[in-house]
A and B are shown apart, each in its own frame.
Chain A
Amino acid sequence: MNNIQYVAPQSIDEAVAAMAAANGTGRVLAGGTDLLIQMRAGVVSPGIIVDVKKIVEMTTIDETSGGYRIGAAVSGAVIGEHARLKKAWPGVVEAINLIGSKQIQGRASAGGNLCNASPAADSVPALVAAGAIVTVQGPKGRRDVPVEKIHAGPGRTTLQPGEIVVSFTLPARPAGSSDAYLRLIPRTEMDIAVVGCGVSLTIQNGTCTAARVGLGAVAPTVLLVEDAAKALAGSRLDDKALEAAAAACRAACKPINDKRGTIAYRTKIAGVLLKRAAGIAAERAGRK
């Protein structure tokens, strides 16, 4: 076994410097629920582990003039206990809270879920639907990226060498807005999505004025389905609009056959989940 270093910097600048100095052998550790398993399996063998859990900006949730900034290393349990965030973005919170078991929730973070880059990552379709902006910091400074631009393929991201995901920003929204995330799994808990679907809506006077749809586990990356959003926006979420949006979801699917589901099954389910998630989001939006 090679020697390995562990550092726990207090600031993002120090963390970025440590990653840059590692020359590609650095790995960020937030909750560790993916990294430790990959290390044990020999999939990765980092030269340096950069623990970001001691960096305040990465481990706190702030309210920002109607929106929210969620540190990338905030655990699912902390997010689930944030009452106002849960009220504003119930779909984002329920998606993050679906990652693993209760104990995993105490460690696992949305930043880790994103950077692990599984096409089936539960939090990502909900964050895509939410229009989350990811703040990334690297040797060349900071940049803001729409969350759907981070995944490049299974296990691969568009992050540049030495870059760290710092936080997610969820925008302020008008009254009558809400969201929902649904995933299909064969069990009731602790499984990997066959399909996941996040829907975020704004409803005013019974008409859907804005919509975003994220789909997971049906393509090499989590998808932003703009055609589905177009079908919902401007409608009263009637059957015709929902079917058009479901058809757009099915058309966007480029899934694989595997033990969890066939191409045909995943494609069909993508439409079903869109309709159900839109219904839940609309009901929540109406209650606000």
Chain B
Amino acid sequence: MEVPSSSADRRITGSDITRRELIGTAVVTGGALVGGPLLPGFIPEAAAQAGTPPGTLDLALRVNGTDHHLTLDPRTTLLDALREHLHLTGSKKGCGLGQCGACTVLMDGKRMKACLSLAALVEGREITTIEGLVRGEQLHPLQAAFIERDAFQCGYCTPGQIMAGVACINEGHAGSPEEIRDWMSGNLCRCGAYDNIVAAIQDAARAIGSGRGG
């Protein structure tokens, strides 16, 4: 699915900018633009073409502390809703089959694979994506540790690794490298940066002060 190109969308973004520019702008402005296409009056393209088609759902999704109102095909996964409708492209689509973990997000603080959940299933839940970890200019300790430890090569799995790592630390499952490897086993890295990922999680767990237990 392409980025919506309806007139409503153009009006909101203000110009005929490209998808990548839109994302760049949204990041620079702290994500304020992300909600743009969802302002009152915005009608998704499919709905605009078909009137109010049967088989669509009106949903309220709470993502990174902001409420979004969407009209979606019921089959839309949470991942597609995040990436294609909210333009939060930090969560990656790797396999789309729940195997690789690149799409990991937090639901009420617990990790889940966004590709295996319908958007409809998480209505009313608090969803946190990689975009929601930063506090102003302050990276989350695990984001900082990933940079410090060089815990990636291509970076594609990184958002999912970090979201799973945040949950791993919060759950108290970051007590030892072995424990981290076990509880991070749902996230694959084809570059093989596992040693550095484990080290980054250990560092962040110490920084956060909840690495004990588990």
Instruction: Report A's interface with B, CB cutoff 8 A.
Output: 1, 3-6, 8, 29, 31-33, 36-37, 39-40, 49, 51, 53, 77, 100-104, 106-107, 188-190
Contact = CB atoms under 8 A, between A and B. Distances in A.
B96 interface: yes
8 contacts: A5-B54, A6-B74, A37-B97, A49-B74, A51-B121, A101-B98, A102-B183, A107-B116
B110 A4 contact: no
B6 interface: no
Contacts of B164: 102-103
Contacts of A188: 185
Contact of A33 (B54, B74, B116): B116
B186 A104 contact: yes
Contacts of A36: 77, 98, 115-118
Interface string B96-133: 11110100100100111101111011000000000000
Given A4-B75, A37-B98, 13 more contacts: A1-B73, A3-B53, A4-B74, A6-B120, A36-B115, A37-B116, A102-B185, A103-B104, A103-B164, A106-B112, A107-B112, A190-B99, A190-B185
A37 B115 CA distance: 9
Interface of B: 53-55, 57, 73-75, 77, 96-99, 101, 104, 107, 110-113, 115-118, 120-121, 164, 183-187
A40 B98 contact: no
A102 B97 contact: no
A189 B118 CA distance: 25
A102 B186 contact: yes
Nearest to B100: A101
B68 to A, nearest CB: 18
Among A6, A29, A106, the most chain B Cβ lie within 10 Å of the Cβ of A6
B113 A39 contact: no
A40 B95 CA distance: 12
A106 B104 CA distance: 12
A276 B54 CA distance: 55
Contacts of A3: 53-55
B116 A51 contact: no
Given A5-B55, A51-B120, A103 B112 contact: yes
A77 to B, nearest CB: 8
A185 B164 CA distance: 24
A4 B185 CA distance: 34
Contact of A103 (B54, B55, B111, B118): B111
A106 B74 contact: no
Contacts of A53: 121
Nearest to A187: B185
A44 to B, nearest CB: 11
Among B75, B120, B184, the most chain A Cβ lie within 10 Å of the Cβ of B75
B186 A103 contact: yes
B111 A4 contact: no
B101 A29 contact: no
A39 B186 CA distance: 22
B25 to A, nearest CB: 31
Given A102-B164, A103-B104, A103-B111, A32 B74 contact: no
